[in-house]
Amino acid sequence: MLLSDAGTSILAKNLKKKPEPSGPFSLVRIVEPYPFTYSFKVKESNISISISRLFYIRFPFRTEEDWAKRVELGYIKVNGETVSPDFVVKVQDQISHYSPSVREPSVPDNVKVLFEGNGFIVVDKPAPMPVHAGGRYHKNTLIAILSEQGYAPLHVVHRLDAVTSGLMILATTKEKAGELTQNFQTSGITKVYHALVKGLPDWEEIKCDLPVRRDKGFRFTTSDGSGAKPALTEFRCLHRGKTGSIIECKPVTGRTHQIRVHLKALGYPIANDFVYLNDSKVTTLQNRPIFLQQSVLGLPTEHNNFEIPIPDDWFRILEDEAD
């Protein structure tokens, strides 16, 4: 077996019980608009391009023309000075972007702390919700919400995309953060995801070891080209519907979007992941959850194994498509 039996046991639990109907409303968290200035330094990879182009590459949720207008308004400055949209940036230039009224996208208001241990907590992160501040989010983040609940300081020791839900470990001390980070880097922590994909695999188990590299903006791709990093994911097909399937995914490495791009490369993209469906040319950031959940986290050093069930809605979707 490529994977542990954790996914099989979770699947059995879901198949034995009748899914409860979802409620008509979900609690959402909304923050009032506020002024904010974001600053960063130009990296080597971004030199010799215009300031408006730089913002479009880094933050593609606006067009390059929109960013140029913000430069002309003086909201975007270089080293504290106003510049024109075609100003060419240099490495280590200090860039600032002032927003007079930041309106953050809403996020689910149901972060659950499942466990409090010695130097760490385990939470069930909903989606869409970023883990830490960046881009359009400063207050509607997992770290900010947990801090408001009294869990601070917190240290991020592994990644989970904003549009991905599921289990996360957060360290509450620097010492534990170092230990857990090392465990993640050496594959000392078991990670199992589940995905609802488009298509019916003709395999029961398979490995994908295609290298992964950044394609454009927030998109990644499988490629042997420059900048590609080795990647390995193990997959097992747990359940097939009429046109879709539930796949158990075990990432051996931890590249950004690894599971998503490997599933696409195999021909079975996540069913509602419009960034990677077919030959999608999506350039705007996603603001909806995708059918990908981190369901199992095993911490051998803590003698703990944390699991959450596959969402009932996924099975309902597969049942409905068969009608």
Residue 187 sits in the same domain as residue 70: no
- The β-bridge relationship of strands 120-125 and 292-299 is unpaired
Does 138 score more than 90 pLDDT?
no
Q: Is 323 among the catalytic positions?
A: no
The residue-averaged pLDDT of 138-166 equals 94
Residue 174 sits in the same domain as residue 96: no
Burial status of residue 16 (CB atoms within 10 A of its CB: 0-12, 13-18, 19 or more): exposed
Residue 146 sits in the same domain as residue 91: no
Q: Which carries the bigger pLDDT value, residue 227 or residue 144?
A: 144
Domain boundary among 83, 102, 121: 102
Contacts of residue 285, defined as CB under 8 A and 6 or more positions apart, other chains included, come to: 60, 61, 135, 136, 218
Going by pLDDT thresholds of 50, 70 and 90, the confidence category of residue 282 is low
The domain that contains 150 carries what CATH number? 3.30.2350.10
Tell me the CA distances in angstroms from 147 to 144, 153, 157, 170, 284, one per residue in order. Answer: 5, 7, 16, 12, 29
Going by pLDDT thresholds of 50, 70 and 90, the confidence category of residue 279 is low
pLDDT digits (tens, 9 = 90+) for 195-212: 999 999 999 999 999 999
Q: 256: domain range? A: 6-26+106-322
**In the chain, what percentage of residues exceed pLDDT 70?**
88
In a domain, 246, yes or no: yes
- The β-bridge relationship of strands 165-171 and 190-198 is unpaired
Which member of 5, 93, 109, 161 is catalytic?
Answer: 161
Contacts of residue 16, defined as CB under 8 A and 6 or more positions apart, other chains included, come to: none
Write the DSSP assignment of 219-267 as a string of letters.
EEEE-SSTT-B---EEEEEEEE-SSEEEEEEEESS--TTHHHHHHHHHT
How many domains does the chain divide into? 2
In a domain, 1, yes or no: no
What is the structure's pLDDT at 188? 81
- The β-bridge relationship of strands 112-116 and 120-125 is antiparallel
Residue 44 sits in the same domain as residue 127: no
Residue 95 sits in the same domain as residue 118: no
d(CA 160, CA 162): 6
Residue 54 sits in the same domain as residue 192: no
pLDDT digits (tens, 9 = 90+) for 94-126: 999 999 998 888 999 989 999 998 899 999 999
The domain that contains 41 carries what CATH number? 3.10.290.10
The residue-averaged pLDDT of 36-50 equals 89
d(CA 63, CA 172): 39
What is the structure's pLDDT at 205? 98
The residue-averaged pLDDT of 177-194 equals 91
Burial status of residue 21 (CB atoms within 10 A of its CB: 0-12, 13-18, 19 or more): exposed
